[in-house]
Amino acid sequence: MVGLLFKGLRKIVNISMSYIYNPVGHLIFFLNDVKILRGFSVAGFMKVHVTRRGRVRIGSNFKVNSGNHNLIGRQQSTIFWVEGDLSLGDNVGMSATAIICTHNIIIGNNVTIGGNTVIYDTDFHNLDPLLRRNKFIDKKSSIKLPVVIEDDVFIGAHSTILKGVTIGHSSIIGACSVVTKSVPANEIWGGNPAKFIKSLHVQ
């Protein structure tokens, strides 16, 4: 009996919070000068920081799970840190994802990004230890290269997508992969570093 009451209360709380997350999500994007199109929905609270020179474009039907709203373990808040140019197409879904865009990241249409995935277009730090001693020079001189994720890509949970990578349309990245080089279209890659596994047969 106690268990049933607890489960009922939990459902009521979850439903009630769903009426809070979307308005807060819209407000956070609005305050960061990001226009949201129809179909946007978010479960949980996001962390969004768009600098004065950052630009974000988000397509329709954008779906976000943040924090513990995708119960697969290792939950974190969905994070957007943008001081470059970030573009997301239509029908993009992500869970507990961190996107750090200092240069240029393009995500196409119908892309699914698994829980706890991170996407970086920068090394964050210079490879020269002498330059890393100066924090300003270290950050300014780090290598930055665009990331492109084409239409219909599926990225498995806990993956890392690094600078300079293009993932071709309809390809799949296995869970816990570290993608360090570009992936052709219609292929499955996985591992650390991610390697070719097999081709996908397109109907």
* Active-site annotation holder among 69, 125, 158, 201: 125
CA distance 33 to 51: 10
Helices and strands in the chain: count of H runs, count of E runs: 2, 19
Q: What is the DSSP string of 24-73?
A: HHHHHHHHTT----TT-EEES--EEEE-TT-EEEE-SS-EEE-TTSS-SS
3-state secondary structure of 195: strand
CA triplet 68, 75, 113: central angle to 5 degrees?
A: 100
Instruction: State yes or no: is 125 an active-site residue.
Output: yes
For the annotated catalytic residues, the residue numbers are 125
